[in-house]
Amino acid sequence: MSTDWVFGLVDAIEEFAHRSGHSKLAVARALGFTRHLSPSTLTGRDSEVLYYRLCGAFAARHIPTVAISLGLEIGSYVLLENFFKKAVMALQGWEIDPLAARGAPREAVDWGMAGVDLYDQGLWETAVPYLEKAWTALHAQPHADDPIRTHALLRVGSQLVAYDGHCGQTSRTQRIISELSGVCRSVASSRSSSALLIDAAGLFLTGAGIAYRLFGAFPPLELVAYGREAEELLARTGSHIPGRIGALRDQAKPLLRFAIEQAGRREAQAYAQQAWEALEGAEFHAGGQDPPEELREHWLLTRLTEIECRFGAGQSDHAQRLWNETIGRGWTQSLIHARSRTPLASKVAITRIAVAAAGKRFDEAGELAGAFLSARENARFRNRMARAAEMLRLSGCGDSAALEARVLK
């Protein structure tokens, strides 16, 4: 076959690599190739095979995947789209324009799902502009009859409210929750809703509950209601195990806080028992005592939450034993390091402060809290920064009871 397409493609790769600041090898790898897409490679004996592989690689659906692989800022996304268009023109044999068939709504879905994946990797600074741009485009147009856009809207909304919860930005979260609560109800009640849509609704409700808990201004049982509704939806499909773990786990603190507030009343013990059962259910779905690798992060988050809850309930010795058993596992430290840009690492640090306070090692707790406040990477977790600052103050006073109460918020 003719190799006339080669030099046009190489020019497109070189231009994109130069303008985006990535190496040509990085671009090739993002497209699924292990070596440079140089003229000598593309005109070699595998030229025809490479040609057809490239036709598939430059399908429009791969644009968000390449953006995520390269960690592109939102401002560079248009460069990637232009690169795909020039590459398709060079390949000639593939007549479908990778951008024309999608239109603006589909493009917004791409932005949104790229943002969701980047956010899950902990690349918040890169992810949030994608999420915000997608939200602006998606919620401005009717979406009831378009399940793809509805799914993207719910996933983008869940990430934005979680982000706002950590950063303490209440106004946008309240607007998003107000708008999407009705969408969740429609998805839940419709017999035609796909498992993907039902899971997205459940994940959104989980994110809404987390954000409201982080804001600290909502009654505990209202927070529990979000978690239960989310868990009910996720249980209906059974396909999103991490989401179900999170929905159960996030009920524990508000349940236990309500039980403590009701101390002396008949129902207090029942609510405390529900908290422990929620954590037990979350750990069960995460694999019990031997979680599979893909669920270890969710297992660890659940165990850290239980440690804080045990301390908050006055069970300091139990909290210390759980901590020692958890942190002593061979895979724990490597996982924390690998996920250092996500909320997991800061959660570990906050729990470590609580464990020191549980052992009445107030000087150690104060030092750990001070170190947390000094670490630049924790600045984005405004709620946890406030918690660490208060734990630092209470450790200085040796106020164990106040520390127990604070750790449940």
- Among the ranges given (1-5, 261-265, 285-289, 306-310), the one the predictor scored with the smallest mean pLDDT: 1-5
Could you tell me the sign of the dihedral formed by the alpha carbons of 250, 252, 254, 257, in that order?
Answer: negative
Confidence at 59, pLDDT banded by 50, 70, 90: low
Q: What is the pLDDT of residues 281-329, one digit of tens each?
A: 999 999 999 999 999 999 999 999 999 999 999 999 999 999 999 999 9
In this structure, how many other beta carbons lie within 10 angstroms of the beta carbon of residue 289?
Answer: 7
Are the beta carbons of 225 and 208 closer than 8 angstroms?
Answer: no
DSSP assignment of 255-322, as one string? HHHHHHHTTTSTTHHHHHHHHHHHHHHHHHHTTTTS--GGGHHHHHHHHHHHHHHHHHTT-HHHHHHH
User: Does residue 204 surpass a pLDDT of 50?
Assistant: yes
Q: What is the mean pLDDT of residues 107-135?
A: 88
Q: What is the mean pLDDT of residues 359-364?
A: 93
Q: What pLDDT score does 109 carry?
A: 85
Q: What pLDDT score does 3 carry?
A: 66
Higher per-residue confidence, 100 vs 56: 56
Q: What pLDDT score does 55 carry?
A: 77
In this structure, how many other beta carbons lie within 10 angstroms of the beta carbon of residue 207?
Answer: 30
Class at the top of the CATH hierarchy for domain 103-285:
mainly alpha
Are the beta carbons of 200 and 151 closer than 8 angstroms?
Answer: yes
Is the overall model pTM greater than 0.85, yes or no? Answer: no
Q: What is the pLDDT of residues 134-157, one digit of tens each?
A: 999 888 776 667 888 899 999 999
Q: What is the mean pLDDT of residues 360-387?
A: 92
